[in-house]
Structure 1
Amino acid sequence: MERRNLLRAAVLGGTAAAFGGTLWRGAAYAAPAQPGAGPYGALGAADANGIRLPSGFTSRVIARSRQKVSGTNYTWHDAPDGGACYADGSGWIYVSNSEISSTGGAGAVKFNSSGTITGAYRILSNTNVNCAGGKTPWNTWLSCEEVDRGYVYETDPWGVKAAVRRDAMGRFKHEAAACDPQRGVIYLTEDVSDGAFYRFRPTTWGDLSSGTLEVMVGSSATSGSVTWARVPDPTGASTATRNQVSGTKRFNGGEGCYYANGTCWFTTKGDNRVWAYDAAAQTISLAYDDSLVTSGTAPLTGVDNVTGTASGDLYVAEDGGNLEICVITPQGVVAPFLRVEGQSASEITGPAFSPDGRRLYFSSQRGTSGSSSGGITYEVTGPFRT
């Protein structure tokens, strides 16, 4: 998720369409999300951590790169990136990637039921530019390498089992992953300007050692029906995976990916879009596009990581823009939820909610220093809609 200044296309193909999936409670939309009042009200002044939050919310620093996590002997990794939370008895674990060349990998912080840190440790080491990834229903973390012909590694958030490289999931510039247990597939984004959107069908659900990698096929329209086709050579040895199938649908800089209740949402930073793939209908539409904002200034730019809540809200982090996490509601309203001040050379990464939905974790990848060694990981607590 390196910062890029990409030119926007002036002409949009197709027609803006409705959000898909039952998460949006069946509401019909004539267009993608528009700016409005968020569910939590306006942002207040920056707190002691430089974070602007709505009334009732507070922040704390969980970890800083190259410093030991409080109460532990684990030194937090550089360039914290994609993340996820896992239930651990009455507590939970937050997993975070490290987007560093050659020595990337992932680490984890463990919390008890009151939110006190009780441990921190490494779960993946010496891999390459681990950007985003995804949580599996069987409670592993898929850590994705954002390099040409990069791999996906399946890791143990508890740090007990050794990480396993999952070659069958393809070799390309991986970004994020999202699991669809209804169809037994894993969706995958690709971070290049002419990238593809993939799904991996394991031979046996829950076992990623073998399976079929497929690519989405469709026109350049921003809404309508799509199909899937098998990628002949998932290794990309002679031809990049995105270029092996005629009619592959192109996406400009694939980033975050999140699945719930029949819909997979994913983002593309090259055109500041949030897409909705209705898995049952096999249709695609736009949930948000900054160039289709009809009044005022688009609140969400530099779209990147995405996560969601049981209430139906999507939370989208910015790489650039105002360094915000914005919320998109089921009512089709997009608004800032938080803003990080004084860190313009950074990006927001790894948003993930604790299992009870009451705490949001995220990182500023380069913090106030603008360097990968200056990463800061935060927790926000407050009256989230659950």
Structure 2
Amino acid sequence: MAKILKGATAQETHSAILDLIRSSGTVTRVALADRSGLTGASISRVVKQLLAEGLIVETGLGDPTGGKRATLLQFNPRARHAVGISIDTLSTTYVVTDMNGRVIEQLASKGIGRDTPATVITRLVGELEDLITRTGIESATLVGVGVALAGRQGSGSSLLRADRERYAWEPFAVQGQLSQAIDHPVVVENDSTCAAIGEFWAGRIPSANDFATLYLAAGFGLGLVTNGDVYRGSSSNVGEIGHMVLDVGGPECWCGGNGCLEALAAPARVVELAQADGPLATDLGLRGKRTSVRTDFARIARRATEGDPRCLELIQQSARYLAKALLSITNLLDLSQIILAGPGFSEAGDLYVQAATEEINRLSFVRAIHPTRVELSKLGPSAAALGAASLVLHSQLTPHQTSNRALAT
């Protein structure tokens, strides 16, 4: 932190100290000075300003050290609020969070189905207004709306996605419409990116800790947080782990390649293999339709955790492929922490954690130097929506860490 603040502007210092308070939960002025490398006088000036702005509050006293007990500082959770929306084929999830990233109100609505963005946005705006009214928060404290959406970032109207039925829902294609329809600052991001920043913000992870979040819904996405911000790559499309090739002679993927993780281990592939076993498909009541992949996959995963050997083998095969992909990512990026998030891990997430942990502990190139911890997200199935709200807070309150994706007004 001291290196970051060397030569920093007043705004950057203000932002960095606020982030230290976020990750600490509660902290004294003395501890802030030690961790930032700033003088006590500088810390006192910044803290005084943050208190005046209402962003932090004094809360109790620190542990006794022989002298006067220091006053503890923490976020004022009611000072700022944000809305996060996760737009998915099956459902739309809304959350309103306080400054700590704690959910204070939420709403589940129907998904986009085959509707166009224009049709859904009209409904979305109405539901959003009702939700905000229900929370009773003051408009002045609402800093923005974040939207998590599967798809590629980009610009213009060119078709980027191989799935022609979904290209209209690429984030870049709906950014403008949302910004015009919602009377608040708006940011639209990939769902895996949102899930990663949600873990960082709501999980109080320090900015010095780099980690990755693997998000599973219909497919796989990877969000990478480094130096307190998500790493986006040259066009904000980093993290397409679903199209990492694991078998050059494997099944064809919708992206045009062969043997991608997506084609080998995604929910659609697991359901396809289950459908090939007629008695199993009948026993589980699988519908076998494109629109039912997520619910069919959940049935298979649930039965696997109950000990059905047929379902257990299908989930374990999927988990083994994912473990191989995460091993490669770990070797490439030297990760010490990987978090598995998203609705795809709701039923059998522990099986995926076990497979990845065993593979990485056994074969990671740096296993003799440090362990790589694999764990399930504590944010639950709404990780993307909560992460979208966290992204707004992150962008507005700690801009010194926010790279190239500002809020659109």
Q: TM-score range by the shorter chain?
A: under 0.3
The structure carrying a bigger strand percent of its residues is: 1
The structure carrying a bigger helix percent of its residues is: 2
Report the TM-score when normalising by structure 1.
Answer: 0.26
Report the TM-score when normalising by structure 2.
Answer: 0.25
